[in-house]
Amino acid sequence: MKATRAFRILDEIDDGGSGGRNFPYETPNRFSNTQCPVGDEWGVNQENAKRAAEGKNACKPWVLWSSFAYHESNPDSWLFDVNNHNGWGDHEDY
């Protein structure tokens, strides 16, 4: 005997499009073309606070450096929501 189970996220859920996911940090409003530094790959430790104090946009985490990096990343490891960044579409594992 074989049993299968499927789940889907209801369109009616008002979750801001996150698919019910929770992320530990808020997504920055705007990103610069500057890559986040080694040791602060998402800019959440000090880099983005420093950049904001200088009037600059957030640094770009490695998962946003290219479409390939985005699609090869794991949304479960994202520190903030970057789904469909740059119009690259919903991540297949989102």
3-state secondary structure at position 50:
helix
Integer Cα distance of 60 and 77 in angstroms: 15
User: Please, what is the average pLDDT of the chain?
Assistant: 86
Whether the model pTM is above 0.95: no
Residue 61: CB atoms within 10 Å: 25
Q: For residue range 59-79, list pLDDT tens digits in order.
A: 999 999 999 999 999 999 999
- Return the bridge partners of 31, or none: 58
Strand ranges for 10-74 from DSSP E: 31-35, 58-60
CA 58 to each of CA 2, 40, 55, 86: distance values in angstroms, whole numbers, following the listed order: 49, 12, 10, 15
